[in-house]
Amino acid sequence: MKNKEIAELYRAIADGFAKLSEIYSSEDTEQPKPVKKDKSIKAEKKTEPAPAEESAAEEKSEPVTYTKEEVRAKLAQMSKADAGKHKADVKGIVAKYSSDGTLSGIHADKYSEVVAELEVVGNA
């Protein structure tokens, strides 16, 4: 692509974002106004499933994956909950899944199991 083509592409993208901004920042909470499609931009149609279908699809899909930061936040939250009542349980869970007793020692594919056990502790 030449610089001129790239510049035109960026302008088209910027125009699209400006139109979206106008639509969603308007006081009208009804349906967004129809926007004329720019012939230079090709967009794929993506249909969103209904809310009932989303929940069913989530249940059938792969288990939820967590990042280290999300797991750390959940561990800290549970440890501080109820005036530190679950702190020993949290440490036990970390020790169970960790090679060195710290969150860094827990392999990333075990994060969902750690969170599942935290939920059990929180509901107990």
> If pLDDT is split at 50, 70 and 90, which confidence band does 40 have?
low
Helix boundaries (H) for 44-86: 51-60, 68-84
Helix (H) or strand (E) holding 94: helix 87-97
The mean predicted confidence, pLDDT, of the chain is 78
DSSP state of 101: S
Residue 45 has pLDDT above 50, yes or no: no
Q: What is the mean pLDDT of residues 92-114?
A: 91
Lowest-pLDDT range of 42-51, 55-64, 85-94, 114-123: 42-51
